[in-house]
């Protein structure tokens, strides 16, 4: 008879214990939370409260309920500023992304002095917006009219910023020139994530340059396009410095943005409570527009 073989007990897998997060990490977050709450959340809540009052920025005040919000939709100056701001933001966003993508494609190609050109194209973003605005103000008022007049183009020999119908074009040119640099960097980052083998395979298949861009490049950088579109539009909706340096809202009120109306009325015109209501509405408008834009562009990404 053979001796029975002793069966070895099975080892049961014991769940790995995950240690608790050290308290030090929570204490490291506390200062940032306190600063954010003190410098952002409290002022926002305070502003929302004063939007329900007739506070002029000084003296006493009384609660007026939602009358400030109702009056906003009856104020032609506010409505005109919304129209100008959204028109400016749409045009600038389209131009910035088209120009930045074209420059990024050129800088991503096999050219000499690629690194130097990238640094040169990023310089406008480093400069202060007010400085750029004052420089372009001088160019539009003096240099460009003199150049066009010497060329015999009398139709462009005047200061474009002094024309109520075309002053916005000068603001768009200045803004696009300064803002394109940041978008170029983001597009370059996206283009460098595309493997070169994909283009080699497309070239073997006989795909044209436009076909490669539309079927390969653009879908593969779709996430970067979404980021640039959302950030650009949100930034241009808050345009302020360029207008101050170029036209100061003029001629008349033809180039007043929403931010400028809020600033002038709230801090200079004794309409603190009224313009706080304008700021609250504008806050939710920007959030809503950014959310819709983000959802729409992300669906376009998924469809490629």
In tens, the pLDDT along 111-166 reads: 777 778 778 888 888 888 888 999 999 999 999 888 888 888 777 778 899 989 99
Q: What is the pLDDT of residue 154?
A: 78
Decide if pLDDT at 238 tops 60. yes
Per DSSP, helices labelled H in the chain are 23-36, 42-50, 67-72, 76-108, 114-126, 129-138, 144-150, 167-191, 196-204, 209-212, 218-220, 222-237, 241-246, 258-263, 272-303
Beta-carbon contacts of 1 under 8 Å, excluding residues fewer than 6 positions away, are none
pLDDT mean over 158-182: 92
248 part of a folded domain: yes
pTM of the shown model: 0.85
pLDDT mean over 241-264: 93
pLDDT mean over 280-303: 87
Beta-carbon contacts of 188 under 8 Å, excluding residues fewer than 6 positions away, are 104, 107, 108, 118
pLDDT mean over 195-211: 84
Q: What is the pLDDT of residue 300?
A: 76
Q: Per-residue confidence at 6, pLDDT binned at 50, 70, 90? A: low
Q: How far apart are the first and last CA of the chain?
A: 73
pLDDT mean over 229-239: 94
26 part of a folded domain: no
The mean of the pLDDT values for the chain is 87
69 part of a folded domain: no
Reduced to 3 states (helix: H, G, I; strand: E, B; else coil), residue 53 is strand
Q: What is the pLDDT of residue 248?
A: 92
Angstrom distances, CA of residue 58 to CA of 54, 65, 69, 277, 300: 10, 19, 21, 17, 50
Instruction: Answer for the pair 276, 47: CB distance below 8 angstroms, yes or no.
Output: yes
169, 175, 177, 180 alpha-carbon torsion, rounded to 10°: -130
The burial of 251, by beta-carbon neighbours within 10 Å (0-12 exposed, 13-18 middle, 19 or more buried), is given as: middle
**Which CATH number fits the domain that encloses residue 195?**
1.10.3720.10
162 part of a folded domain: yes
Q: CA 141, CA 72: separation in Å to the nearest integer?
A: 35
Q: Per-residue confidence at 169, pLDDT binned at 50, 70, 90? A: very high
296 part of a folded domain: yes
Q: Between 70 and 2, whose confidence is greater? A: 70
What is the tens place of the pLDDT at every residue in 42-85? Answer: 999 999 999 999 999 888 999 999 999 999 999 999 999 999 99
Q: What is the pLDDT of residue 212?
A: 86
Q: Which of 40-54, 66-80, 187-201, 221-235 has the lowest mean pLDDT?
A: 187-201
Q: Per-residue confidence at 1, pLDDT binned at 50, 70, 90? A: very low
Decide if pLDDT at 13 tops 60. no
147 part of a folded domain: yes
27 part of a folded domain: no
54 part of a folded domain: no
What is the torsional sign of CA 42, 43, 47, 48? negative
- Bridge partners (DSSP) listed for residue 63: 53
Please tell me the total count of domains within the chain.
Answer: 1
Q: CA 67, CA 79: separation in Å to the nearest integer?
A: 16
Residue ranges making up the domain that contains 83: 77-303
Reduced to 3 states (helix: H, G, I; strand: E, B; else coil), residue 266 is helix
What is the tens place of the pLDDT at every residue in 82-104? Answer: 999 999 999 999 999 999 999 99
């Amino acid at each position: 008879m053979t001796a029975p073989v002793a069966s070895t007990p099975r080892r049961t897998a014991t769940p790995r214990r995950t240690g608790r997060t050290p308290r030090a990490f929570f204490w490291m977050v506390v200062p940032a939370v306190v600063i954010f709450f003190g410098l952002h959340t409290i002022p926002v809540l305070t502003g929302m409260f004063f939007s329900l009052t007739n506070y002029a920025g000084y003296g006493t005040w009384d609660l007026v309920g939602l009358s400030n919000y109702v009056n906003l939709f009856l104020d032609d100056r506010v409505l005109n500023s919304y129209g100008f701001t959204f028109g400016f933001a749409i045009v600038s966003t389209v131009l910035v992304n088209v120009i930045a993508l074209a420059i990024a494609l050129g800088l991503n190609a096999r050219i000499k002095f690629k690194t130097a050109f990238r640094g040169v194209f990023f310089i406008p973003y480093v400069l202060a917006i007010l400085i750029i605005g004052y420089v372009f103000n001088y160019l539009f008022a003096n240099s460009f009219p003199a150049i066009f007049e010497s060329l015999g183009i009398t139709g462009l020999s005047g200061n474009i910023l002094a024309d109520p119908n075309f002053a916005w074009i000068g603001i768009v040119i200045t803004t696009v020139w300064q803002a394109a640099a940041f978008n170029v960097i983001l597009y370059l980052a996206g283009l460098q994530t595309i493997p070169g083998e994909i283009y080699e395979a497309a070239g073997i298949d006989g795909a044209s340059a436009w076909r490669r861009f539309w079927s390969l490049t653009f879908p593969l950088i779709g996430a970067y396009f979404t980021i640039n579109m959302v950030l650009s539009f949100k930034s241009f909706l808050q345009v302020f410095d360029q207008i101050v340096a170029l036209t100061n809202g003029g001629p008349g009120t033809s180039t007043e943005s929403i931010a400028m109306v809020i600033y002038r009325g709230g801090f200079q015109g004794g309409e603190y409570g009224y313009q706080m209501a304008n700021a609250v509405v504008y806050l939710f408008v920007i959030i809503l527009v950014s959310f819709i834009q983000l959802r729409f562009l992300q669906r376009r990404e998924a469809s490629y």
